[in-house]
Amino acid sequence: MKNLRTIREEKKYTQQQIADFLNITKSSYSRYERGLRNVTPDTLIKLSEFFDVTTDFLLDITSEPLSRAEINILFSSSKSNTELMKEFKFNSSGESITPEEIEILLNKLRLLIQSKK
């Protein structure tokens, strides 16, 4: 969980502070960051809420630490995909993705959200 360490360091928290928040030992938390221990769904949600990022970011599925507010903007916005692309910097593994790929992604995300309503 490379992104977990990245966001913790970016927000200037120690491993001990996060371990205390989760009510676990520092060594247990360190194992999360090093990928030596799986995070439970409840813990993953707590970390996501604490750092205000998506669970996908914490699980290294995405490289952009979008906040819940930004995700809400994506799905509740009446903005076009082009406008959203300008507002958010999407990339994959550090490399920019094409506008066409972003368009496909946004359309799939919107369909997914609508199917869950």
Model pTM score: 0.59
The answer on 77 and 33 residing in a single domain is no
By C-alpha distance, which of 109, 116, 32, 28 is closest to 64? 109
Q: State which residues form the domain around 23.
A: 2-58
- Would 42 be classed as within a structural domain? yes
Q: How far apart are CA 17 and CA 6, in angstroms?
A: 15
Q: What is the mean pLDDT of residues 62-88?
A: 64
- Would 63 be classed as within a structural domain? no
Written as six digits, the tokens of 8 are: 């913790």
Which position has the higher pLDDT, 45 or 110? Answer: 45
Written as six digits, the tokens of 82 are: 């082009």
Band (pLDDT 50/70/90 cuts) for residue 60 is confident
Beta bridge partners of residue 91, listed in sequence order: 96
Which position has the higher pLDDT, 74 or 5? Answer: 5
Q: How many domains does the chain have?
A: 2
